[in-house]
Structure 1
Amino acid sequence: MQYLILVVVFLYSSMAFPNEDGSITPVRVCQVEKAKYLFRIDLANLILAKTAPVYGDARVTPFRKETSTVSQDRCVVLLKQQQVDLLYLPPKDNLLESFDYIPFDIHAGMLGYRVFIIRENDQRRFDQVESLDDLRRFVGGFGSQWGDFKVFGLNDLPVIGAANTSVLLNMLNHERFDYFHRGLHEAWAEVEANNSKLPNLSVETGLTLRYPFQVYYWFNPSNTELKQRFETGLLLVLQDGSYHALFKEYFQKTVKRARLAERKTINIKYPLPQKSDNWVTEVNHTPFWVEPRWLD
């Protein structure tokens, strides 16, 4: 790790400074419309800012003016066609075979812990869940195009799939299924954002699902400079503490609100793709909640 950082610092100090005309290079993305993407976007912009003296000024920019929902499958096609420059998605075999990536978990393990959005009057039913077998009596809802949709089949959990979050929340509200599991940073935010139109939904109070779920930055193979820039920038923000500061800004309150130590944890299977090796081992294998420094 120290050797890599020294190499980065050497390259950083020895390259020319472009963008003298004051222009800002857009890094085009299609994943912009949801709160869950904000940390991934802000981290990308932090990386671009840290590397600006070497590579020039750049900023994450929607690939089109409209910010309506674009499906993950469509975003993958857009990256392949070079209409977007960057994706931030979980590793899947088709992505690993087609694109360049940095095998660094953007969320530092946090997305491996999930809580349920349920109908509030169902809380007593979920109070009785003690095991994976108990959970199999319920039907889940989840994004059919999302990377971890397969956890339901792998663990024999009944599921109904849909295209996006808003559809799933409405289906849950109309009793099409029993729960919608979400990341810690997503569950409360989504319930509160939809409280006026979906007042019956709440975050379940006593359970947590756990599985090894990661999110990477992805690049078109022809865009080697952007990938190199992100590798350089990630090492810089890890070394200078700005990654940790941004992480705390986004997630510290939510992690404490989740009260993970007080919840019953159900571990489920989620095998990572074989090519999904780690880039910064000590970061990827140390869940943020184990290290006190993440929450101080």
Structure 2
Amino acid sequence: MRLEASEPTRDSVVYIPNYEPGTTDIYQYVVTLLNLAMALTEPEFGPVQIIANPAPTPQQRQFLNLRNGQTDIMWSVTTYAREQENTVIRIPLTGGMFGYRVMLIKEGDERFRETIELPDLKQLSAVQGSDWPDTEILRYHGFSVTPSVYTSAFKLLDRGMVDYFPRAVHEIFEELSTHHSLNLTTEQYIALQYDNPMFFFVAARRPELAKRLEIGLNRLYENGDLQRLLTSQHFYIQARNLLKGRTIYPLNNPLLSEQTRQAMKRYQSPLASAL
């Protein structure tokens, strides 16, 4: 069938994931960043229409959709394996925030009434998503981790079946609001930290789109707009303030490629310099 002039071609449409519950703020920020990158490259590559898939999907399904043609661009924290299977744009999107983890705990848990030492924390039971890189990172360092689907993790903590739920520092506010009926709160004294950058991933069948996105993001980084957009976000300001004064336990991330380690040196985190 011949396309009418008003109909967009497949190359001018970009399909992205829909947002998952508890991720509204970060989702809107990343989509804004994506739109800015596309706008900056429109003179060379032409107009593009960004369309969200109809329903939210878990992370592993998003990667499957990237490979089977249902999605063109997605974003996630990275691992060596994910970079081997998909086209990655190694420009950090959230300034290292996914690497700062604070603990969601049950209200009134006396074990967290003061700073807990790292060896003692490892003896307690953490919950993490079964398909998250964080699960493997924590286990690598000797943590006891119970895998779960995201929506069930909060209930496991509320019921006392696990002891704490490490969350990215910017996620915990919306999650507490979403799960206000549960007896949960934020631990006050510590944070874990490991390099855990969030990157865009592009479908391998769309190399021109990957090239365009990398050019646009680099322009946003070089002119300072990426950093300005990030540091103006309410979730960023809340996260920065939540980290101040905490004891931070640094951990190595064994899942990163050498190329990603080099990218982390090039693209400095505004959050690290703010603490």
Q: TM-score interval w.r.t. the shorter chain? A: 0.7 to 0.9
Give the direction of change, closer, same or farther, for the CA distance of 1:32–1:58 in structure 2 (3 Å limit). Answer: farther
3-state secondary structure, aligned to 1:221: coil
1:151 is aligned to 2:133: no
How far apart in 2 are the matches of 1:86 and 1:92? 17
C-alpha RMSD of matched pairs (Å) = 2.4
3-state secondary structure, aligned to 1:269: coil
2:47 maps to a residue whose letter is D
The alignment of Structure 1 onto Structure 2 pairs a total of residues equal to 265
1:287 is aligned to 2:273: no
Residue aligning to 1:169: 154
- Among residues 41, 45, 70, which one is paired with 2:35 in the alignment? 45
How far apart in 2 are the matches of 1:188 and 1:215? 19
Structure 1 position 280, deviation (Å): 5.1
How far apart in 2 are the matches of 1:27 and 1:226? 9
1:90 is aligned to 2:91: no
3-state secondary structure, aligned to 2:269: coil
Structure 1 position 208, deviation (Å): 0.7
Give the direction of change, closer, same or farther, for the CA distance of 1:138–1:281 in structure 2 (3 Å limit). Answer: closer
3-state secondary structure, aligned to 1:145: coil
Deviation digits for residues 249-289 of structure 1 (CA, Å, limit 9, x no counterpart): 2244213430x2311112223224335435756543x3323
Structure 2 counterparts to residues 159-198 of structure 1, below 5 A: 159-164=145-150, 166-195=151-180, 197-198=181-182
Structure 1 portions without partners, runs of 5+: 1-19
Residue aligning to 1:111: 98
1:189 maps to a residue whose letter is E
| Contact 1:103-1:279 within 8 A present in 2 as well | no
3-state secondary structure, aligned to 2:92: coil
**TM-score scaled by structure 1?**
0.81
How far apart in 2 are the matches of 1:119 and 1:280? 37
Residue aligning to 1:243: 226
The percentage of aligned residue pairs carrying the same residue is 24
Structure 2 portions without partners, runs of 5+: none
Give the direction of change, closer, same or farther, for the CA distance of 1:31–1:269 in structure 2 (3 Å limit). Answer: farther
Structure 1 position 100, deviation (Å): 1.3
Deviates more, 1:97-106 or 1:136-145: 97-106
Residue aligning to 1:14: none
Give the direction of change, closer, same or farther, for the CA distance of 1:59–1:118 in structure 2 (3 Å limit). Answer: farther
- Among residues 209, 213, 219, which one is paired with 2:192 in the alignment? 209
Structure 1 position 139, deviation (Å): 0.6
Give the direction of change, closer, same or farther, for the CA distance of 1:150–1:31 in structure 2 (3 Å limit). Answer: farther
3-state secondary structure, aligned to 1:270: coil
Residue aligning to 1:8: none
3-state secondary structure, aligned to 2:191: strand
1:255 is aligned to 2:233: no
How far apart in 2 are the matches of 1:98 and 1:247? 28
| Contact 1:114-1:208 within 8 A present in 2 as well | yes
